[in-house]
């Protein structure tokens, strides 16, 4: 049985990120890390956390879909877990692409479209500012949505563990090795997302800037089945299809990223702190970095909307747990280092 002293949960839909909200109450709580009634006191008080981050030099952040949730992008756990009738994770595999590249491309073109419609939230900006203020900070992101990059997060301190939706690579990664950065939406005409089909001569159409794209994650919206000839091909080898520059399950993470993280962890200097932000920490090797950081002396602070999402390896005495929306909590957590976010990046009009 887990004794939880409930904290404020901010429901982003109501939240206007306006700063005149009462300061979030940060309290400690007792949590058990397993079904044994062993209580570990999890700190939730901002003061003790601020004391630590103020004196920290080497800090890691492991980020997941929850970081971008309040930018309107579905998480894998949440609505994003199922795309039409398909389990998203099953579509994120080389096997699925080999079996039905049209379907996989409709999935990724849709996620590119959604990500391009979204905007970074205060947590993305706060982490970018932390990188500028703390040379020893590295953000390890599992997100492929490009929002940290659009928040101008310094690239040398942003490790895209699972790639990005906005790189297009030749599917023959070892042979042809072609790749380009690409923000076109749709990626090719055949992948255009069907729109509301409002009669262009109607008054409604006259008031509608651009016809709204239909939510094709909903299986009731018919989608054409596409032939490989409809899909983007590699302009270099002119043989293979292009694929999104993301890491699929069963594929190795980008070598340069693994190298950077491993050498950061191998440094003689200890790691002072790891922030675990909006991730269910179920996917490896990303989830393993929490324990790796602990082994190098790091204190652990978790920001999550769900107190059930225990970091891999479980809780330890002295860990922090901040229950709330990353877009609200993260700027508060790093304030001693970055100050208050400017109005523009704090999501305030």
* Comparison of 58 and 107: residue with beta carbon closer to ligand BV8: 107
Contacts with ligand BV8 by CB under 6 A lie at 12, 64-66, 69-70, 75-77, 92, 142, 144, 162, 246-252, 278-280, 282-284, 286, 303-306, 309, 325-326
Residue whose CB is less far from ligand BV8, 167 or 309: 309
Q: What DSSP line would sit under 242-266, residue for residue?
A: EEEEEPPTTSPPPHHHHHHHHHHHH
Q: Where do runs of H (alpha helix) occur along the chain?
A: 46-54, 88-91, 94-99, 101-117, 122-133, 147-150, 203-207, 255-266, 289-295, 326-333, 335-338
Torsion-angle region of residue 205: left (phi > 0), alpha (psi -120 to 50) or beta? alpha
Kindly state the smallest distance separating residue 325's Cβ from ligand BV8, in Å: 4
3-state SS class at 316: coil
Do residues 145 and 115 touch, judged by C-beta distance below 8 A? Answer: yes
Q: Which residue, 58 or 64, has its beta carbon nearer to ligand BV8? A: 64
User: Catalytic: 86?
Assistant: no
Minimal CB distance residue for ligand BV8:
66
Question: Residue 180 Cβ, how far from ligand BV8 at the closest point, in Å?
Answer: 19
Residue 143 or 157 having the CB closest to ligand BV8: 143
Nearest-Å Rg of the Cα atoms of the chain is 21
User: How far is residue 233 CA from its own chain's centroid?
Assistant: 28
Q: In a 3-state reduction of DSSP, which class is residue 115?
A: helix
Tokens of 328: 């609200």
Decide: helix, strand or coil at residue 141. strand
309/94 Cα distance (integer angstroms): 28
Tokens of 65: 């879909």
| Distance in Å, CB of 227 to ligand BV8, minimum | 23
Q: Given 113, 124, 153, 162, which residue is catalytic?
A: 162
The distance of closest approach from Cβ of residue 336 to ligand BV8 in the complex, given in angstroms and rounded to an integer, is 21
If the CB atoms of residues 63 and 131 are measured against ligand BV8, the closer one turns out to be 63
Shortest CB 273 distance to ligand BV8, Å: 18
53-68 burial, b at 16+ Cβ within 10 Å, e below that, comes to beebebbbbbbbbbbb
Distance, in Å, from the CA atom of 247 to the CA atom of 241, rounded to the nearest integer, reads: 16
| Minimum CB distance to ligand BV8 smaller for 58 or for 121 | 121
Q: What is the smallest separation between the CB atom of 162 and ligand BV8, expressed in angstroms?
A: 4
**Active-site annotation, residues:** 162
């Amino acid at each position: 049985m887990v004794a939880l002293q409930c904290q404020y949960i901010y429901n982003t839909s109501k939240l206007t990120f306006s700063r005149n909200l009462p300061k979030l109450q940060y309290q400690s709580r007792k949590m058990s890390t397993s079904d044994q009634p062993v209580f570990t006191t999890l700190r939730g008080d901002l003061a003790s956390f601020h004391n630590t981050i103020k004196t920290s030099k080497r800090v890691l952040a492991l980020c997941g879909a929850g970081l971008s949730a309040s930018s309107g992008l579905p998480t894998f756990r949440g609505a994003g877990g199922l795309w039409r009738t398909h389990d998203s994770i099953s579509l994120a595999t080389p096997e699925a692409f080999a079996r039905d590249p049209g379907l996989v491309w409709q999935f990724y073109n849709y996620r590119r479209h959604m990500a391009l419609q979204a905007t970074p939230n205060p947590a993305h900006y706060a982490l970018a500012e932390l990188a500028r203020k703390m040379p020893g900070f590295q953000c390890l992101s599992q997100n492929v949505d490009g929002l940290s990059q659009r928040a101008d997060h310094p690239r040398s301190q942003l490790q895209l563990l699972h790639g990005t939706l906005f790189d297009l690579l030749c599917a023959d990664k070892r042979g042809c090795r072609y790749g380009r950065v690409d923000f076109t939406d749709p990626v090719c005409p055949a992948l255009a997302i069907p729109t509301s089909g409002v009669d262009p001569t109607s008054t409604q159409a006259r008031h509608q800037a651009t016809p709204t794209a239909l939510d094709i994650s909903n299986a009731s919206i018919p989608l054409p089945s596409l032939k490989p000839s409809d899909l983007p091909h590699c302009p270099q080898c002119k043989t293979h299809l292009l694929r999104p520059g993301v890491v699929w399950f069963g594929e190795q993470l980008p070598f340069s990223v693994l190298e950077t993280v491993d050498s950061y962890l191998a440094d003689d200097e200890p790691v002072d702190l790891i922030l675990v932000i909006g991730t269910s920490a179920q996917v490896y090797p990303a989830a393993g970095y929490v324990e790796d950081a602990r082994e190098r002396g790091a204190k652990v602070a978790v920001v999550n909307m769900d107190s059930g999402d225990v970091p891999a390896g479980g809780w330890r005495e002295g860990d922090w747990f901040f229950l709330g929306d990353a877009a609200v909590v993260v700027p508060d957590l790093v304030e001693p280092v970055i100050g208050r976010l400017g109005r523009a990046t704090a999501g305030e009009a």
